[in-house]
A and B are shown apart, each in its own frame.
Chain A
Amino acid sequence: MEAHSMPYYGGRAPETGLAVYTQKVGMWVFLCSEVMFFTGLIGSYIILRFGASETWPQPGEILNIPITAINTFILICSSVTMVKAFAASEMGDKRGTRLFTLATAVIGATFLGVQIYEYSELLGHGFGPWSGLYGSTFFTMTGFHGFHVFAGVVCMTWATVKAFRGGYDNGNYQGLEVLGLYWHFVDLVWIILFTIVYLI
Chain B
Amino acid sequence: MDSTERLHETTGAVAVEAHARDHAHPRYLLVWLWLALLTAAEVAVVWFTALPKSWVVVALLIMAVWKAALVALYFMHLRFEPLRVAVLASSPLPLAVLLVMTVLQEYR
Task: From A1, A19, A32, A191, give the contact of B7 (CB < 8 A).
Answer: A1
Chain B positions 16 through 37: 1 when the CB is less than 8 Å from some CB of chain A, otherwise 0: 1100010001001101100110
CB of A124 within 8 Å of the partner chain: no
Tell me which residues from 34 to 58 in chain B have a Cβ below 8 Å from any Cβ of chain A: 35-36, 39-40, 42-43, 45-47, 56-57
Of A16, A46, A87, A188, which contacts B12 at CB under 8 A? A16
Which secondary structure dominates where chain A touches chain B? helix
With both chains docked as a complex, state the minimum distance between the C-beta of B86 and any C-beta of chain A, in angstroms.
Answer: 10
Interface size on B, residues (CB 8 A): 56
In the complex, chain A residues whose CB is within 8 Å of the CB of B74: 83
Instruction: Decide if B93 touches A83 in the complex (CB within 8 Å).
Output: no
> How many contacting A-B pairs (Cβ < 8 A)?
157
Query: Main secondary structure on chain B at its contact with chain A?
Result: helix
| CA of A185 to CA of B107, assembled, Å | 29
Q: Which of A16, A40, A187 contacts B10 (CB 8 A)?
A: A16
| Cα–Cα, bound, A87→B36 (Å) | 21
Residue of A nearest to B65 (CB): A192
Contacts of B107 in A (CB 8 A): 47, 50-51
- A16-B12, A39-B100, A79-B71 known; A69 and B39 CB under 8 Å? yes
Q: Indicate if A133 sits at the interface (CB-CB under 8 A).
A: no
Instruction: Choose among A16, A25, A200 the residue that contacts B60 (Cβ–Cβ < 8 A).
Output: A200
Q: How many residues of A contact B (CB 8 A)?
A: 62
- Which residue of the partner chain, among A1, A44, A191, contacts B64 with CB atoms under 8 Å? A191
Assess whether A151 is interfacial by the CB under 8 Å rule.
no
CA distance A36 to B46 in the complex (A): 28
Is A77 at the interface (CB under 8 A from chain B)?
yes
A181 interface residue per 8 A CB criterion: yes
The answer to whether B28 and A83 touch across the interface, beta carbons within 8 angstroms, is yes
Shortest distance from the beta carbon of B13 to any chain A beta carbon, whole Å: 4
Flag whether A106 is at the interface (Cβ < 8 A): no
Q: Are A3 and B7 in contact (CB under 8 A)?
A: yes
Sorted from nearest, which 6 A-B pairs have the closest CB atoms? Answer: A3-B3, A195-B64, A39-B96, A19-B16, A35-B92, A43-B100
